[in-house]
Amino acid sequence: MTTNGFTVAIDGPAASGKGTISKAVAAHFGFAHLDTGLLYRAVGAKVLLGVDAVAAASGLVPDDLDGDALRTPEIAQEASKVAALPDVRAALVDFQRSFAARAGGAVLDGRDIGTVICPGAQVKLFVIADAKVRARRRFAELSGKGIETTFDAVLADVQARDARDMGRADAPLRPAEDAVQIDTSDMKIADAVAAAVALIEAKRAGPS
């Protein structure tokens, strides 16, 4: 389960800032980046079209992972539901582990990367933020894209997903014992990225 390359595992709840940090860190170090939430969103989108969840997970292809089309509130909720199915999670493990092991280094962000997918990752971050702060961010993002919603609806969505993602029996959202926590509630994004970069640089330089 250890990886060949250098793996950075970044987990955390919805809109905690983990995606932004992951992208920035990957660009900084020249690592490949996989947003694993897109896998579950792609499965959720297919289920909304009537496809069986396990069949959808087993048959995913790169063209299914169109980030923009998958970032709707409906697909987010469905993703969180299919993500509680052990057979769906099992079907997605190999792809994620192969991605993590690529030679040039990889950043994977999600819910169970440090605990289940890459327990041997060289760096594990757990990114959190207050639920209202996260809902404000997600509301701004959705409004910016012209998706009509309200702050209260977004907060309810965030809280429902938190409860489902943390409460499921298989691979629940929780920090790995050796994860470093970053609370972005009152942090500028540049500072959160700088903190992550510093942690990774220290790990790359020193004995692990």
- The contact set with ligand DC (CB under 6 A) reads 14, 36-37, 40-41, 76, 79-80, 83, 110-113, 161, 165
Residue 18 near residue 127 (C-beta atoms within 8 A): yes
Residue 4 CB, nearest approach to ligand DC (Å)? 21
Instruction: Report the nearest approach of ligand DC to the CB of residue 181 (Å).
Output: 17
Q: Give whichever of 88 and 200 is closer to ligand DC, judged by the CB atom.
A: 88
Tell me whether residue 41 or residue 46 sits nearer to ligand DC (CB atom).
41
Q: Closest by alpha carbon to 111, among 202, 190, 9?
A: 9
CB of 37 to ligand DC, least distance (A): 2
The CA distance from 130 to 17, in Å, is: 11
Q: What is the spatial distance between Cα 75 and Cα 53, in angstroms, rounded to a whole number?
A: 13
Q: Which is nearer to ligand DC, 86 or 204 (CB)?
A: 86
Judged by CB, which is closer to ligand DC: 33, or 41? Answer: 41
Is 151 strand, coil or helix?
A: helix
148: tokens are: 């009509």
Q: How far apart are CA 103 and CA 106, in angstroms?
A: 8
Shortest distance, position 128 Cβ to ligand DC, whole Å: 14
